[in-house]
Structure 1
Amino acid sequence: MIGILNRLVGHIEAQLRTQINLADVVRAEGTTEYHVRRMFSSLAGMPVSEYIRRRRMTQAAADLLSGEDLLGIAIRYGYGSAEAFGRAFRSVHGASAGEVRENGGPLRSQPIIRFSLKVEGNSPMDARIIERENFQLIGYAAQVPLIHQGANPHIQAHIASIPVTEHARLKELSAVEPAGLLQVSDQVDADYQEGTELTYLHGVAVPADATVPDDLDSIQVPAGHWVVFSVAGPYPSALQELWASTATSWFPSNPWRLRPGPSIVAVLDRAADFSTATCELWLPVEADR
């Protein structure tokens, strides 16, 4: 995976002034665009689309300072107008193209990313691979923004809005693994960009053919393989650190890749104030051949 990401960066660098088709590049590597986008975002801390934009604006600044025509530069980097280019330029450098041309800055350059993997082997990750038939996730769903660090207040507000009696009712409906009340994230942006909208469902797992009560939402989950990680510690920081470790350690070291589908957190045990918890993280995967 690390090699694939570095070759992707090389391709981006060679094609900054042309149309970049990530799907074609990834297909030649024998993996999927979905998996590569998620791994790039997790490891680089930004979506691949944002990295491309920053690298293009870094190169464009040099062209601008050489005195080239603004519209010509805009077209070279894929923008249909000088205005659209100017907005992208300001968003990266924090100054307009005119200000930079006049004053020589300020400039905020994006270095070329190089991915590397440091494996020490002294922190094993508890995981298991299971194969599941199709099933359903049912409960109360809401659209919320993606937040990487700390508790998500939008999710907290959604859970708080569910009557206490409904939590007990959902537990009684739980019928298949993952067991108990679940925290489900679905339709997550492939780039995993903070602030993008996802579907969050607070609910349980039931068989695919189970009848869903009219007042509950449902997510159909197709058959396939899942990797299940276990973690115990401060909540939610330990869980968020586990998420990061799947990208930095587990996926680069194992012949599996992410496939589209919901991610599921099952809380197995927790402190009364939810300051600590024991959780399972379920991620949909497929063999990376």
Structure 2
Amino acid sequence: MEKDAKIYIAGHRGMVGSALVRKLNVVGYNNLRVRPSSELDLRRQAEVEKFFELEKPEYVVLAAAKVGGIHANSSYPAEFIYDNLMIEANIIHSAYKNKVKKLLFLGSSCIYPKYAKQPMKEEYLLTGDLEPTNEAYAIAKITGIELCKFYRKQYGCDFISAMPTNLYGINDNFDLETSHVMPALIRKFHEAKVNGEDEVVMWGTGKVKREFLYVDDLADACIHLMNNYSDEIHVNIGTGEDIEIRELAQIIKEVVGYEGEIVNDLSKPDGTSRKLLDVSRLHDLSWKHKVELEEGIRRVYEWYVENEK
């Protein structure tokens, strides 16, 4: 990407989009195009087409999505599939119509089958049944990958896809009803510490394993792919390392400085037993994560304490 090129970041106010804006500015990309959802509803085809015709972005990173944890995915599957399908279809088609030079679509590791062999290679996509608790979201994200693949095949568009692992970072969603496990635990431990509570309740057994990537590392990987990758197969983005949720909770407890007990609510679901990405393709492209888990959690907690209100 040329340093003065017009780059559209879809979803620039979210955790991923804001990290992309920060990183792009740091490395010298200052001609960014962004719109808040109050001005541009990405679910509306006419609005998206008008934006592309007006701004004519040369590069696009599609980080906009409706996201959430197990509770949100299970409770609102219709919204998760509809909103995400509309967002990606409108942007990808408008990018094609307006001759965007390159587009990067961001998916999620939940696209892989529930019982996929670990670690999960890119080729495992569509080889088995999905995890029921986030099936609607996964189907939408798989569709985004396929859209990029078929626009590349039929029209020659340089549209690529990347599948990040579980992400965390500043500007995360800390709402206990809709958040993912990391921000939910950070908030729970912090509030328990402030309120002098004796225990913190954690969903499930805590024995499932998850991989976590600091969002600023993801932003760096995205820029690397935009400059160094062009193929129809998606690329996994992660650390290649995972951890049990109960171990994660212990690290967060120590970072927060909470001294009470952790209690498991076994009536709540664990989700998929393990979701570890095979990141050998990404490593072969000369990229590796920089921020280790405990350091990343410390950064997020410091930000949360400063911005919790």
TM-score band by shorter chain is under 0.3
Larger helix proportion of the pair: 2
In the superposition, the TM-score normalised over structure 1's length comes to 0.25
In the superposition, the TM-score normalised over structure 2's length comes to 0.24
Name which one, 1 or 2, has greater alpha-carbon Rg.
Answer: 1
